[in-house]
Structure 1
Amino acid sequence: MASHNTTTEVPYGYITPGFPSLYWLIGPPNVVQPSYLYHIHDVWRFTLFWTIIIFEAAHLAVALYAVVIVWWGGRRPALKVGTVRGAREQGKRGKEGDTGEKDGGAVGKLKVLWMVPVVYGVIAGLEAVLAGSVVGLMLGAVYNSGGFKVSTWIPFVWSLISVLVLILSSFSIQGGL
């Protein structure tokens, strides 16, 4: 049985470009030096690295936002007991001056808030390894089977697509049927 090899011919003396090897796309042809990937392993590696970087950045931005909201959310002004809302809130809190925080307010928050970016970072890393590996291997296989060389921009763009799909999937979609 004859095998059909559709892989792109790797140029003589080809050396895999170093990460990230993104090149400026706009400019005269003699100035722009494009970088290409020819091996599935390289496409997978570039996609994995870009996915880890972009997922970590997105998750840590969200974690920072959550920390700021929780930190500043506890700094609301004290309610006056003479108002209706203040009396209701005072009843929820219990005795006068009790805020319901056992560890001393801001100090208690700091004991827990430092964990938010750590947990988000670990989750982002796990998601990125899974998504980057699947997308990178699929990209490498598709481009290799078609006999195409892969620009170093392709793994970067697909990692952006992966994080956008992750963000979009975080919203609940409810139809009005």
Structure 2
Amino acid sequence: IYNNLEIWLFTVLWTIIFFTVIYGLAGIWAWFVFHKYRWSFLVPIGFVTVALLTGFVSGTTVGLVLAAIYTFGSFKISVWIPFLWGLIQALILLMGCYSTITTVL
């Protein structure tokens, strides 16, 4: 990838994909827990909406930093780098959820 826009776009898309999968699974789990309530179908929709928003914000931040670093150093970026940074962000998200759960328990 040579273009800053492509670096940003790939990073944002991979981050949104990973976040949507994680938040979507959590939303489906929450829906199963609260399925007796009338408006429970809105829970997964809310989770996916939060995933899209947080994925866009964090993907934009990391994507712009990656684009700046690789452009400043005149390096070519592999298509795997945005994928790996999206995965890293998703794993950090999961680690943050784990510490919150242990605090509540």
With the length of structure 1 as denominator, give the TM-score of the two structures. Answer: 0.54
1:70 is aligned to 2:34: yes
* Aligned partner of 2:46 among 102, 113, 119: 119
The percentage of counterpart residues that share the same residue type is 34
Partner of 2:60: 133
Moved over 4 A (4+): none
Q: Distance in 1 between matches of 2:34 and 2:40?
A: 8
Could you tell me which residue of structure 1 aligns to residue 6 of structure 2? 42
The residue that corresponds to 1:32 in the other structure is none
Distance 2:21 2:80 in 1: 18
Shift of 1:54: 1.1
C-alpha separation in 2, matches of 1:152 and 1:113: 39
How far is the alpha carbon of 1:69 from its aligned partner? 2.7
Query: Which has more radius of gyration?
Result: 1
Q: Which amino acid aligns with 1:141?
A: A
Whether 2:88 is the aligned partner of 1:161: answer yes
Equivalent runs, 1:15-26 vs 2, <5 Å = none
Letter matched to residue 120 of structure 1: F
2:29 matched to 1:60?
no
Q: 2:94, 2:7 → 1: CA distance?
A: 24
Tell me how many residue pairs correspond in the alignment.
Answer: 101
Q: Which amino acid aligns with 1:130?
A: V
- Whole-angstrom CA distance in 1 between matches of 2:49 and 2:70: 31
Please give the root-mean-square deviation of Cα atoms over the aligned residues, in Å: 1.5
Question: TM (normalized to structure 2)?
Answer: 0.88
Q: What SS does the aligned partner of 1:163 have?
A: helix
Give secondary structure in 1 for the equivalent of 2:75: coil
